[in-house]
Structure 1
């Protein structure tokens, strides 16, 4: 899955969808970290605020939780 730079969906939503699909596939197992904001910036070539918005969307959807100073982790039972 790649980003559609010309599509109607915001980049942060597309990134969140990609990360959610990886969680569902088991690429990021429960209680393990997803890529950091810096990692998302590097992988997808987006700004840090865009990366932060993508992670926040995953938090809002109940897929990950953020631990201050440690990173964002997949929840025990992600509802994908």
Structure 2
């Protein structure tokens, strides 16, 4: 992939991941590809991928499961208490 414009790469990747979630490529309750897989797919560093996924976690689109990966949050599910 060719990264375009002045926007930092991690923000461009975050936007792409959001597009994939919204389009259904990454479905609620399922994991997104691993950090290593995203690094390979986009030829970027782990740090860049982690910065991008942190944005999605902050927005409530992803949740991390230690040792299992990052999962797409079901936006229609009731909030956990």
TM interval, shorter chain, is 0.7 to 0.9
User: What is the alpha-carbon distance in structure 1 between the residues aligned to residue 2 and residue 18 of structure 2?
Assistant: 13
Q: CA deviation at 1:69?
A: 0.4
State the TM-score, normalized to the length of structure 2: 0.87
Superposition map of 1:1-80 within 5 A: 2-4=2-4, 7-77=5-75
4+ long deviations beyond 2 Å: none
Name the SS for the 1:34 alignment partner.
coil
The alpha carbon displacement at 1:3 in A equals 2.4
Larger Rg: 1 or 2?
2
Unaligned runs of 5+ in 2: 77-81
Task: State the TM-score, normalized to the length of structure 1.
Answer: 0.88
Residues 1:60 and 1:20: Cα distance change in structure 2 (over 3 Å): same
Structure 1 unaligned segments of length 5 or more: list them: none
Q: CA RMSD in A?
A: 1.5
